[in-house]
Structure 1
Amino acid sequence: MSLTYLDRSLGDLACSIPGATRIFHGYKLDFCCGGQKSLREAAARKGIDAEAVAAQLAALQENGSDAQDWRAVPDEKLIAHILERYHERHRDQLPELIRLAARVEHVHGDRSDCPNGLAEHLRTMQQELESHMQKEEQVLFPMLLNGFGPRAGGPISVMRFEHDQHGDALEHLLELTNQITPPPGACNTWQALYRGLDELRNDLMQHIHLENNILFVQALNPQESSHG
């Protein structure tokens, strides 16, 4: 059964198997911006055993998961979840991460493994995310909640483009931080920073996944939505 997953896209698998995103996080497979790639293709690019990933997905589906299937809820519930769980959370996360990054750079900036430039990169991410979230809150989400989803192709295409930019920003974050891996002997602040960065990355990828692969798809194709 697991072999049937190999040629399905990461986005499709993330939607159809609750809990799959946790497995993808573990392998650093991009199921949000890169969600159109098949499991086989994405694993090959990372040098990962695709069949091993597929076997884990099959076991997850066979054993069941208590994770929410967001395709099965009304748009207003999904949007409320995105606003509360991700928009508010990102606004809480980034100021503290910027503070921690600035501290690490100030104290350890002369070390070759110090993520110099990280604080500035996080400030740029914060500004771009805030602008993006305001567009969703003020323009796109009201359109969807008022039943204008099929006419929202323009705003949705802009949001998808900006999601790709967020994905690029996450890739640069990984480059700056050695894949968010603190060096041996890293101080408590450094370790706390990287724990927070890992959480931010996971949250932002899940946020983009819910929008790209579920909310936007259902908005543009309401007749295919499971909740009408």
Structure 2
Amino acid sequence: MQTLSLDRTVASIAAELPGAADLFRRSAINFCCAGDVPLRAAAGRAGLSPEDLLAALEALERAAGRDAPEETEPLIDHLLTRYHATHRQELAFLIPLAEKVERVHGDHPAAPSGLAAALSALRDELEGHMMNEEQMVFPMMRRGGTVRIAQPVAQMRREHDDAVRLLHDIEHAAHGMALPSGACGSWTALYTGLRKFTDDLVMHMHLENTVLFPRFEAPAA
């Protein structure tokens, strides 16, 4: 992950730092459609102290991944059970729920139009990615010790970038996951589950990008 600073864009921070998206949502900072602005400017627009916002993000960075195992094999097991299995279960629940909310509330100005399609696209992207890890990349890591597998890891990183772009589509379709006044139980459950799912996915990618993958990439010259 790039170093946190007031010059980083809010979009890049939300995509890489677990918990940042939720912090931005609670602070009324748009990190999707208007996310290509520096943190300093975004804080000012929201009436917040840039330094205080940066300090809150730095606290998230210190906490990120603290509960994950350090050794490679237990970390892989953690990724498989805590994230791979959970993503599949939650998407199987969220996609039909998004379809229902779009169908029932399609005439509402805040309806999450296109959300089910965006979630389906992410499900398809993630399924291929996770199967590749489960069937090829993780077994190579388990067997290899300190073996360098730079090319497969580079492909996994590129697929993470694709997932980030799809997360932006989801955030946009859900209008920042801001519930309208009087939202029904299904709509409320959808956005509650969606916030948890998207934050989990960012943590999942963070653990792989910053903890697991560097162990199997060629060291810098």
Residue correspondence of structure 1 range 6-155 to structure 2 within 5 A: 6=5, 21-22=18-19, 25-27=22-24, 43-44=39-40, 46-47=42-43, 49-56=49-56, 68=66, 70=68, 73-147=70-144, 150-155=147-152
Does the CA-based 8 Å contact 1:101-1:119 persist in structure 2?
yes
Q: Tell me the TM-score normalised to structure 1 length.
A: 0.74
Does the CA-based 8 Å contact 1:44-1:50 persist in structure 2?
yes
Does the CA-based 8 Å contact 2:122-2:166 persist in structure 1?
yes
What is the deviation of 1:46?
Answer: 3.8
Change (3 A) 1:190 1:174: same
Residue correspondence of structure 1 range 150-165 to structure 2 within 5 A: 150-165=147-162
The answer for the alignment partner of 2:31 in structure 1 is none
Unaligned runs of 5+ in 2: 26-36
Q: Deviations over 1:24-63 (max 9, x none)?
A: 64136xxxxxxxxxxxx852364464421343367789xx
Of the structure 1 ranges 81-90 and 109-118, higher mean CA displacement relative to structure 2 is found in 109-118
What is the deviation of 1:111?
Answer: 1.6
Q: CA RMSD in A?
A: 3.2
Unaligned runs of 5+ in 1: 15-19, 29-40, 223-228
Instruction: Give secondary structure in 1 for the equivalent of 2:175.
Output: coil
State percent identity of aligned pairs. 37
Quick one: which amino acid aligns to residue 87 of structure 2?
H
What is the deviation of 1:180?
Answer: 1.0
Change (3 A) 1:7 1:78: farther
The answer for the alignment partner of 1:225 in structure 2 is none
Change (3 A) 1:132 1:42: farther
Q: Deviations over 1:95-126 (max 9, x none)?
A: 11011111111111122211111112111111
The number of residue pairs the alignment matches comes to: 197
**How many angstroms apart in 1 are the aligned matches of 2:57 and 2:184?**
36
